[in-house]
Structure 1
């Protein structure tokens, strides 16, 4: 049976190191201390003829994606708790995040969800490791920010109890239709809702939410705000130009972004205006490490493009959080480039050695 896993479903072009010093900036909410760095001038944007629409596919978008996301969150939280997964909620959130990063290679081929659920324990864990490592090679800046969601996979041996919980969460997410929300090549369809927000909120105790001051804006509320404001979500995301339209190269920022819900609504609004989110610069910050990790993954799923910076900090206490996050992202990208360059050299040496061995065998 052909494996239908498409590890590149949500990938974007590898980013250039983020820039931090530019002219003006636009923010989602007032930041009493500072504004994040603005983008460098961008080349002329490409005009989309219309928001992308789905290709022929065996999966169909749900009529109410936000309700579907909530159902997935409830199913995942229930599965994790029944398996006594404990306080390590980064594990089930990381599972849903990884599944959200993939798609099906052939829409008419064998069902991807069925194939994943048929994997044995070893191959299931190997699949999750491959998803994260593949995306790290393309977006090391965002995958590094999401480290808390996948570093548990670095353990040489994942114990049987955890594997059982991982399998239960995988089954809950897939059987409740995760791929009908995220399993598309079209970023417009992948951005119908924020799946990770309800998963995170339902797994986290009310006390923990209150302690973090964490109250996520529901996706439906963000969209209602967009409709009400006339200029749509971009009224709260950026200053309107004289023409009253967002301009490519502008910086869209949310200083208390949670898992990125307002950025999602803004990106959808741009697409509906026949603009490409990749022609804008995006940044957000959240004090919660898991929320910031989810935002980083969502930036890939939603196709925000190569110019995204996600910081984990208190923007009131650290007004340079975005600058510092951008500097760290540059270092991570440079490290990725070094690793890949070394890998290419090693591969070339091995290929040369194989050719020499083959020549020696023929000569003998």
Structure 2
């Protein structure tokens, strides 16, 4: 079941959410659509089916980004299996997730896509490790939640897997991943969920049925989020304007499609999603990992909690995940503290060696 509570008021509270979910009907499966026409770099077209501009004056691109994401997911899955990448679907998803974390700050600068495509397998593996490490410094809680997508990089990557990983990265970039995710503007970066189709296409139909995994199509998620946020387009109904500090919670989040739609709706109202508290829960570790990565990609802000649990069996899943998040920050601070001490010792040793050397 897809559930979403957009109105758990947390005024005066910034630590412990108290979500009270409201249940919606089960969502249908994602269905692939024909591939879209090619567009210039980092362009997101608005089709004739797009709605009129909202309060922000910006129309929401509806069809093109979602269709492109499905095309990327299908191509990545096909390339991974053609290269006999194996059953560890967290590897190709982790590659795409790491690439989603890259932002191109200067569109007029060097072609980042071309630079990555020119890397050999070892260089690409080193880059992926660096991406995850840098983001762990800033958000250890979310990167720890996404551990299943990057822990394979802690081991030595053999030549066969390296070639498969490089093929996945090449396919995702050549199919236009950066057109969806590399924008500096979080509104454009959040136009679609690039990880959901990758995860869906890599997972067998039987596995999805066993997990009860059915991702809400983005247009439906947009409609549900819009209705819950209190403004129904075309009817002019303003029921409840979401106030800063409200808690937006999805206890069956998948990779975060509903929160993405809610964040976009907030931005179209001129509001910053970072001013709200977000929590997402999913029983599937890979889905929860994708939600954690998406929380960074979509710039949901510092007050995001992602739990991997059965929200029906564990009503305290969010609170438990918050404890884990605090522990992750403590570990980060401890590691960085030790790193600074080691760096200071090495620097002192270098200065002493320089002072004692005959040349000095």
TM-score of the alignment, normalized to the shorter chain, above 0.5: yes
Q: Quick one: higher RCO (CA 8 Å, sep 6+), 1 or 2? A: 1
Matches within 5 A, 1:207-356: 207-227=206-226, 231-232=230-231, 244-356=240-352
- How far apart are 1:25 and its partner, in Å? 4.0
Partner of 2:170: 171
Q: Partners in 1 of 2:261 and 2:244 — Cα distance?
A: 17
Deviates more, 1:222-231 or 1:120-129: 222-231
Q: Partners in 2 of 1:105 and 1:25 — Cα distance?
A: 36
Q: Partners in 2 of 1:144 and 1:117 — Cα distance?
A: 28
Query: Matched residue of 1:128: which SS?
Result: helix
Query: Matched residue of 1:253: which SS?
Result: strand
- How far apart are 1:27 and its partner, in Å? 3.5
Pair 1:67–1:28, CA change in 2 (3 A): farther
Q: Partners in 1 of 2:243 and 2:125 — Cα distance?
A: 43
- How far apart are 1:26 and its partner, in Å? 5.1
Pair 1:277–1:105, CA change in 2 (3 A): closer
Partner of 1:121: 121
Query: Matched residue of 1:284: which SS?
Result: strand
- How far apart are 1:196 and its partner, in Å? 0.4
Query: Matched residue of 1:104: which SS?
Result: coil
Q: Partners in 2 of 1:272 and 1:362 — Cα distance?
A: 67
- How far apart are 1:225 and its partner, in Å? 3.2
Partner of 2:102: 102
Contact 1:58 1:108 in 2 (8 A): no
- How far apart are 1:59 and its partner, in Å? 2.7
Runs of 4+ in structure 1 off by over 3 angstroms are 24-30, 224-230
- How far apart are 1:320 and its partner, in Å? 1.1
- How far apart are 1:226 and its partner, in Å? 4.0
Partner of 1:61: 44
Aligned length: 311
Deviation sequence 1:211-257 (CA, Å, 0-9, x none): 00000101122123345667259xxxxxx9x9821011111100100
Q: Partners in 2 of 1:144 and 1:62 — Cα distance?
A: 35
Q: Partners in 1 of 2:217 and 2:249 — Cα distance?
A: 18
Task: Extract unaligned runs of 5+ from structure 1.
Answer: 1-17, 31-56, 234-239
Pair 1:136–1:273, CA change in 2 (3 A): same
Partner of 1:38: none
Partner of 1:198: 197
Q: Partners in 2 of 1:27 and 1:186 — Cα distance?
A: 30
Q: Please report the TM-score for the alignment, with normalisation by the length of structure 1.
A: 0.81
Partner of 1:49: none
- How far apart are 1:345 and its partner, in Å? 1.2
Deviation sequence 1:157-189 (CA, Å, 0-9, x none): 211110111011001100000000000111111
RMSD of equivalent CA atoms: 2.1
Q: Please report the TM-score for the alignment, with normalisation by the length of structure 2.
A: 0.82
Q: Partners in 1 of 2:354 and 2:114 — Cα distance?
A: 42
Q: Partners in 2 of 1:62 and 1:199 — Cα distance?
A: 22
- How far apart are 1:355 and its partner, in Å? 1.6
Partner of 1:149: 149
Deviates more, 1:107-116 or 1:186-195: 107-116
2:28 is the alignment partner of 1:29: no
